[in-house]
Amino acid sequence: MRKSLCLPPICIPQVEIECDNTKYTHLKKITGPVIGIFGSSLEFQKKRGFPNRKIVMDLCFELGKWLALNNWVVITTACPGIPFWVADSTKKNKGITIGLSPYKNKAEHTKPKLSIPGYPTQQNSITVYTGVDFQYADILISSLVDIGIVIGGGLGSLIEASAIAEYEKPLICYPNIGGIAADIPSLFSKHFPRSRKLKLQVSTSNTDLFNQLTKIQNTIKYGNKQFAELYRQLGK
């Protein structure tokens, strides 16, 4: 299925959409805030000496479960590693997850690449195949979410976090496992324009993270009009 789709403020001329509910009622049910999960793939973690894989996975599964139980909608670029683990946990706990793939269809998305045995899709309630490159997808996902969280991460996560900051949206960094999340606070505090409002917080424990998310959930305004528009354009 291919539809013409425009998601403000960035337009995607053509997309292919896959959904585990053929009536797309997931989109109609989106009433909570939307969070972007920005983080490292498993391959990056192996190269950079991240903590024990189980420690990282446990954090992601706990976060995903909490997000599902508290009515958050999770968006990722449908990649493996940290974004996958959080989204997979969210979906398994009956939450809504959206994968915004940079590839133009499922065949390209799941095709083995280098050391990666294809990108996964089972963690997504809805997968949107955009056909844009990774850098554009990073900006796009940041334009759609209400808040972003960086766990570990590399250059792609830095692009996403920078876009979140430019949109003056809340951004949380979890620096305990290293990666770009550990560098962003000092980097942004030094270089972010004083004329702009930087909504950056740092979480050093799961309890701290969940408390910050609760406070943000109670204060941000979210309408998710882009998903209502997507639902309308699908003709449902």
**Domains of the chain and CATH, by start:** 15-233 (3.40.50.450)
Q: Which two tokens stand for residue 203?
A: 């979480």
Residue 22, pLDDT above cutoff 70: no
Mean pLDDT of 24-39: 74
Q: Which pLDDT tens digit goes with each residue over 92-126?
A: 998 989 888 888 888 888 887 655 666 777 788 88
Angle 46-139-118 (CA atoms, 0-180°, nearest 5)?
40
Instruction: Name which of 55-64, 120-129, 153-162, 220-229 the model is least confident about.
Output: 220-229
Residue 23, pLDDT above cutoff 80: no
Residue type, 14: Q
- Distance from C-alpha of 130 to C-alpha of 117, rounded to nearest angstrom: 20
Residue 232, pLDDT above cutoff 60: no
- Distance from C-alpha of 5 to C-alpha of 212, rounded to nearest angstrom: 34
Per DSSP, 113 falls in state B
In angstroms, what is the C-alpha Rg of the chain? 17
Quickly list H helices, 52-168: 53-69, 82-92, 106-110, 134-144, 155-166
| pLDDT on residue 10 | 46
